[in-house]
Amino acid sequence: MSSPQREITLRFLAEPQDVNFGGKVHGGAVMKWIDLDAYACSAGWSSRYCVTAYAGGIRFVSPIHVGNLVEVNAKIIYTGSSSMHIAIEVNACDPKSLSRRLTTHCIVIMVAVDESGQPVRVPEWIPQTEEDQQQHATAIKLMEMRKKIGEEMQIFI
């Protein structure tokens, strides 16, 4: 049996229908690509259908232009019992130069579910390298921060 797939990169060209009124790829298109990559990563890791539980900390660093080669990289950085925390990085470049630049990054949490939509256990991811350990520790810090933000947000509910 092969080991679960921890990381995946989707690559494609930004198309005219992805552009906003300012002539750049709109954030909604980028967020869709992020969600697709997070799904592919989480399904590859868990061998299950997965749903998005959280997407946050989205930073739009630089614009993507029509015709850019876009790479959306997703990597598992933490697993819970049924959840997978995924670091997403979006890079783009002119396909003639291949000089990539960071355009967007964020964290997405996906949950593996069964046929009735109930959470199911996922394989545990264990950090192997120093970089893995740093990313894992960051994921734990972010969980604590999200809990505090969630408590503060109760005022709006």
For residues 56 and 85, the answer to whether their CB atoms sit within 8 Å is no
Flag whether 91 is in a domain.
Answer: yes
For residues 91 and 101, the answer to whether their CB atoms sit within 8 Å is yes
Mode of pairing for the β-strands spanning 101-113 and 83-93? antiparallel
Q: What is the CATH number of the domain that holds 121?
A: 3.10.129.10
For the segment 12-69, what is each residue's pLDDT rounded down to a tens digit? Answer: 999 999 998 888 999 999 999 999 999 999 999 999 999 999 999 999 999 999 999 9
When divided into structural domains, the chain yields a total of 1
Average pLDDT, the chain: 94
pTM exceeds cut of 0.85: yes
- Phi then psi for 120, rounded to 5 degrees? -130, 155
Which of these, 115, 46, 119, lies nearest to 86 by C-alpha position?
46
How confident is the model at residue 28, as a pLDDT?
A: 95
Flag whether 83 is in a domain.
Answer: yes
Across the range 105-109, mean pLDDT stands at: 97
More confident residue, 90 or 149: 90
Flag whether 144 is in a domain.
Answer: no
How confident is the model at residue 2, as a pLDDT?
A: 61
Structural domain range at position 98: 7-125
CA dist 13 and 94 (Å) reads 10
Flag whether 152 is in a domain.
Answer: no
- Residue showing tokens 């679960």: 4
Flag whether 67 is in a domain.
Answer: yes
